[in-house]
Each structure stands twice: as structure tokens, then as C-alpha cells.
């Protein structure tokens, strides 16, 4: 066990590799695409933050913030896992070690994604942004992206149900 700990301490690259790439696309506040060596593109979902969806209040603001911070720049990232859509979840660093997720939360452009993060300091940054009404926290009715997505899914299910009910009534009357 001690040997494994020493290996992790002195050779962290064996377990967590840091990669660099140029940011060539911003999909939304928490999803970017980087161009790697060999012209390979990689889509990255930012770790520990969830930004408003496109179409949700402050969604465009979050996208613009992310773009202003990293678009066209070379970033370093550490992939932490794959999400259920196959995207790489990554911690993205830029400009002398700034952590992009931290900057988004501090600027009030995203929620600390506490379900997928153990970094309580991000929660403190969110509380500060809320208290100071920074970014999306100006909206007293701000809805987290996960609640927004859940409501959209439920609305979609309701519409499908209503549509199938209407089709059944049409068949019954024919």
C-alpha cells in the first residue's frame, strides 16, 4: 500500500494525465471543444459546474463568459470521467492556472454541481455570488439547470401522453 501511495505521489501522470488543446468551440457555458495535436477534436463537459441551458435565463451569458475566458486559447485539462452521453468530463485550466469551473461559479454563471463534486470551496463561491446577487443570482427565481432539464423531460412526457390520448379518442370515434 505504501508503494502505491509513493507511486501516486511521485508519478501522478500515471493516473491523471494533463492534456493541452486549443479551444475551437463553445457549445454552452459548461461544454467546450478543443483541438488536440494531430487535428483531433475533443468535446469536454466541465467538471463540478452546471451552467444554465441554452434557452434558459443566463444561458447565453454563461456561454459568452466561457467564450471570453477560453475561446481561441490553449487550455490544459484533466479528464476525470465520461458522462452518460460519452463526453469527457474534465477540469479545465487556463491563464496561469485559473480553474474554469471555479471562475464560472464565482462570476455567478453556473451552479456548483454538488452531486458530482467534493470541493466545498465551490459551494462557498456560489453562496458568495448568491449573497452579492452576481450574475444569474440577480434573478430571485433562478432555476438550476438540472431542475430545468427535469421539467422539460416531464413536459415532453406529458405532451406525448396527451397526444397518444387524443389519437386513441380519434380511433374510438372512427
Q: Which residue in 3, 25, 40, 45 is the catalytic one?
A: 45
Q: Is the pLDDT of residue 17 over 80?
A: no
Could you confirm whether 158 is annotated as catalytic?
no
48 catalytic, yes or no? no
Annotation marks residue 87 as catalytic: yes
Q: What is the mean pLDDT of residues 12-38?
A: 86
Helix, strand, or coil (residue 87): coil
Q: Considering only CA atoms, which of 28, 64, 24, 69 is closest in space to residue 42?
A: 24
Active-site residue, from 48, 53, 102, 103: 53
The pTM score is: 0.81
pLDDT at 7: 44
Between the CA of residue 20 and those of 39, 77, 98, 132, 171, what are the distances in Å? 12, 6, 14, 34, 59
Amino acid at each position: 500500500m505504501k508503494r502505491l501511495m509513493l507511486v501516486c505521489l511521485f508519478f501522478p501522470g500515471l493516473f491523471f494525465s494533463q492534456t493541452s488543446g486549443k479551444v475551437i468551440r463553445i457549445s454552452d457555458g459548461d461544454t467546450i471543444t478543443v483541438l488536440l495535436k494531430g487535428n483531433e477534436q475533443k468535446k469536454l463537459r466541465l467538471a463540478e459546474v452546471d451552467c444554465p441551458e441554452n434557452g434558459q435565463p443566463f444561458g447565453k451569458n454563461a456561454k459568452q463568459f466561457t467564450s471570453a475566458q477560453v475561446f481561441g486559447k490553449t487550455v490544459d485539462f484533466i479528464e476525470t470521467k465520461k458522462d452518460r452521453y460519452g463526453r469527457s468530463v474534465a477540469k479545465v485550466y487556463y491563464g496561469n492556472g485559473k480553474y474554469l469551473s471555479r471562475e464560472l461559479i464565482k462570476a455567478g454563471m453556473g451552479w456548483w454541481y454538488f452531486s458530482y463534486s467534493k470541493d466545498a470551496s465551490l459551494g462557498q463561491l456560489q453562496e458568495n455570488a448568491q449573497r452579492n446577487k452576481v450574475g444569474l443570482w440577480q434573478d430571485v427565481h433562478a432555476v438550476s439547470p438540472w431542475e430545468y432539464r427535469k421539467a422539460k423531460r416531464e413536459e415532453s412526457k406529458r405532451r406525448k401522453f396527451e397526444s397518444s390520448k387524443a389519437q386513441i379518442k380519434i380511433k374510438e370515434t372512427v
